[in-house]
Homo-oligomer: A and B are copies of this chain.
Amino acid sequence: MTLEIAQLDANQSDFEQRLNGLLAWDSVSDQGVQTAVAEIVTSVRQRGDAAVLEYTRRFDRVDAASVADLVVSADRLEHAWNTIPAAQREALQVAADRVRSYHQHQKTESWSYREADGSLLGQKVTPLDRAGLYVPGGKATYPSSVLMNAIPAKVAGVAEVVMVVPTPGGELNEMVLAAAHIAGVDTVITIGGAQAIAALAYGTETVPRVDKIVGPGNIYVATAKRMVFGQVGIDMIAGPSEILVVCDGKTDPDWVAMDMFSQAEHDEDAQSILVSPDADFLERVRASLETLLPTLERSAIAQVSLANRGALIKVSDLDQAVEVINRIAPEHLELSVDDPEAIIEKVRHAGAIFMGRYTAEALGDYCAGPNHVLPTSGTARYSSPLGVYDFQKRSSLIMCTAEKASELGKVASVLARGESLTAHARSAEYRIKD
């Protein structure tokens, strides 16, 4: 099994061009998928449960008599929790506790202040009423994703979290149900695909309409989420996962290689990049990658990922490494160096920063506490990890005294007339005292 991976030097004249080539990634918007999804969404919107049931029978080969039959009872979730292996139950408990504890720090509170005359200004913060959580089913089942999406919603105070998970061929994952139990999910329905997204967005006889839909899914799910955006809120549309490791050359090369593989094994579009000022170290990691590749369960996927999108990048020093970080704005940034705190001061863009040689990205994926839903494909330039703030929203508060309304009425009148909005001006002028 041969290892192929690009080797770049940040001081080469064509570096920027080659790096751009590696980073380039566009989500495919296939017209066939668009059309199929549009039809499913319209159909569910018009015919509700009947349409959901038809699609579930057709796509998931599940022969239920009604959508109500696809609702999983709280007892069933608790049963899953009680019957999975103890090691898994304990691991889920530790992860859930740590994720909950971390996210509690993110909760935004209402605030207001009074001006000298008693006028009040502020913002009232409220949770969403109801959130929908999509969980992929079938072979790829991710209980960690249940925790990472549901717990911030519950910490925010969302009254009802509705989880949908398809069960292709009737296959139901016990760890996913157990995770739903410990995360406090209120309702679980075993439906999936674009039909589940449409049902959550518009509501059906059985599926409650939600205010926001979060969670990963395949291209049909992602397309449906984009389509219902506006009717409901959605989280980000995620691109392939990426890691950027910056190392001073003093970490065990096998550790760094395996950290790179932990991204590369996700899928063939995943991206693993190592940056170091130490040319010898880069070579030693390359050798580790070569040795370890054949030992991976998912070696075929990792091999393609590294060949297409991986890179080992030589820089002059750690300052140049920081330039590369800010250029890439990586989803995951591992600072495998002596003094990571000195570097993070200069990092402007990254989804999550794993500091020091011990903090493997995989710890963050499961149980360190921070969310594993992170901005991909350079979107860390303007967006943030999923958090409690995604399940809260704000209402501005303004209460003017008669004096303040008079004073501000004069200002508003001038500006409104400057914009030729004279009803605005007159509304303000009514409140001006003589």
User: Closest B-chain residue to A389, C-beta based?
Assistant: B389
Are B121 and A415 in contact, CB atoms less than 8 angstroms apart?
no
Within 8 Å of chain B (Cβ to Cβ): is A396?
A: yes
Residue of B nearest to A92 (CB): B415
- Asked if A198 CB lies within 8 Å of chain B CBs, one says no
Q: Is the CB of B421 within 8 A of A265?
A: yes
Chain B residues lying within 8 Å of A384, measured Cβ to Cβ, are: 393-395
Of B121, B360, B420, B423, the contact of A262 (CB 8 Å cutoff)? B423
Instruction: Count chain A residues whose beta carbon lies closer than 8 angstroms to a beta carbon of B.
Output: 120
Give the residues in chain B near A393, CB-CB below 8 Å: 349, 375, 380-384
**Proximity string of chain A (415-428) to chain B, C-beta cutoff 8 Å, 1 when within and 0 when not:** 11011111111111
Q: Return chain B residues, CB-CB under 8 Å to A128.
A: 381-382
Instruction: For the complex, give the distance between the alpha carbons of A320 and B81 in Å.
Output: 42
Inter-subunit contact B261/A423 (CB<8 Å):
yes
CB pair A399–B340 under 8 Å, yes or no, is: yes
How close is A373's CB to chain B, nearest CB, in angstroms?
10
Given the interface pairs A143-B418, A415-B95, A423-B262, the reply to whether A408 lies near B296 with Cβ below 8 Å is no
Minimum C-beta distance from A105 to chain B (A): 6
* Chain B residues near A368 (CB-CB < 8 A): 121, 398, 400, 408
Return the 3 tightest CB-CB contacts between A and B, nearest first: A358-B405, A233-B382, A355-B399
**11 contacting pairs across A/B (C-beta < 8 A):** A88-B415, A124-B344, A252-B430, A255-B430, A258-B426, A352-B398, A360-B405, A360-B412, A366-B411, A367-B408, A380-B393
